[in-house]
A = this chain, B = another copy of it.
Amino acid sequence: MKVLIIHAHPEPQSFCSAMKDTAVETLTQLGHEVKVSDLHAMNWNPVASEKDFKKRSQEDYLVYALEQREGFKHGQLADDIQGELEKLQWCDVLIFNFPMYWFSVPAILKGWIDRVFVSGYCYGGKRFYDQGGLKGKKGMLAFTLGGREHMFGEDAIHGDMNTILRPILRGAMAYVGLTVLPPFIGWHVPYISQEERTALLESYKDRLKNLDSLQALEFPVLSDYDDTMRRINK
């Protein structure tokens, strides 16, 4: 398999960065090909703007998704976007590796999604969810957070984690057609012992060795909805 890891932690010595290194090592040993985009090291620009297009379809009024479609079609996307897009096209598995900030991804990673999940390739028209442009590829989140596992769940103060993750799991990954694997979560990372960290990395290795046998999460299937996108089969 070809695996693309998008890594978004500002501290190279962090546990989150160790998770990225562990993934590269483990997956390579298993015979997979791995590419890493280390967004902080690349000085990645996360801001979607008119500068993202070498030539614009409409010079006087920016419609970002329209320019993405035209830019993709005519090879006019900015070089940094084009570079990441080629890695995305190349891969079979996409892993977002990050520290959770505000119950979501850090801005630098959000901006990778905003700019690289281009309209016209990743989605467009009725190509979304199970019909999305990245159909056939897999996606997975691997992230760390300060919170403890018992602070999440229906009866816990922050509520259910998969519900919190909905914009990224369903609204981004599933939306573009990825088969979404369950997230790998490093709970309470800043506060755990060295032994617990080692055990967590071992657990992540096990996860990476079993990517093929994981049960994917379930998301909308277009054939269950009518033309107005209301559910037909309840």
Which A89-134 residues sit within 8 Å CB-CB of chain B? 101-108, 110-111, 113-114, 117, 129
Once A150-B228, A151-B229, A220-B157 are accepted as A-B contacts, the answer to whether A107 and B46 lie under 8 Å apart by CB is yes
**Cα-based distance from A57 to B6 in the complex (angstroms):** 29
- The complex places the Cα of A229 from the Cα of B155 at a distance, in Å, of 9
A73 in contact (CB, < 8 A): no
**Does B167 contact A171, Cβ atoms closer than 8 Å?**
no
Tell me the bound Cα distance from A14 to B66 in angstroms: 14
Residue in B150, B155, B230 whose beta carbon sits within 8 Å of that of A234 in the complex: B155
Q: In the complex, which residue of chain B has the Cβ closest to the Cβ of A62?
A: B11
Taking a contact as CB atoms under 8 Å apart, the answer to whether B48 and A167 are in contact is no
Each complex incorporates copies of this chain amounting to: 2
Interface size on A, residues (CB 8 A): 56
User: Does A75 have its Cβ within 8 Å of any Cβ on chain B?
Assistant: no
A217 vs chain B, min Cβ distance (A): 14
1/0 per position for A139-157, CB-CB distance to B under 8 A?
Answer: 0000000101011000111
Are A106 and B48 in touch, CB under 8 angstroms?
A: yes
A29 on the interface (CB 8 Å rule)? no
Say which one of A158-166, A196-204, A206-214 lies at the interface with B: A158-166
In the complex, the chain B residue whose C-beta lies closest to that of A101 is B114
Q: Are A104 and B102 in contact (CB-based, < 8 A)?
A: no
The reply to whether the CB of A185 lies closer than 8 angstroms to some CB of chain B is no
> Given known contacts A157-B229, A163-B166, is B101 in contact with A46 (CB within 8 Å)?
no
Given the interface pairs A10-B50, A48-B10, A171-B164, the reply to whether A156 lies near B231 with Cβ below 8 Å is: yes
A190 interface residue per 8 A CB criterion: yes
Any B CB within 8 A of the CB of A172: yes
| Closest residue on chain B to residue A107 by CB atoms | B111
Taking the complex as formed, is A49 at the interface, i.e. its CB lies under 8 A from any CB of chain B? yes
Instruction: Please determine whether A104 and B110 come into contact, CB atoms closer than 8 angstroms.
Output: yes
Q: Can you list 23 A-B pairs, Cβ within 8 angstroms, ordered by A?
A: A10-B48, A10-B50, A13-B61, A46-B47, A46-B111, A48-B101, A65-B146, A102-B113, A102-B172, A103-B166, A103-B170, A103-B175, A104-B110, A104-B167, A106-B110, A106-B114, A107-B113, A111-B111, A129-B157, A150-B230, A156-B229, A157-B220, A157-B231
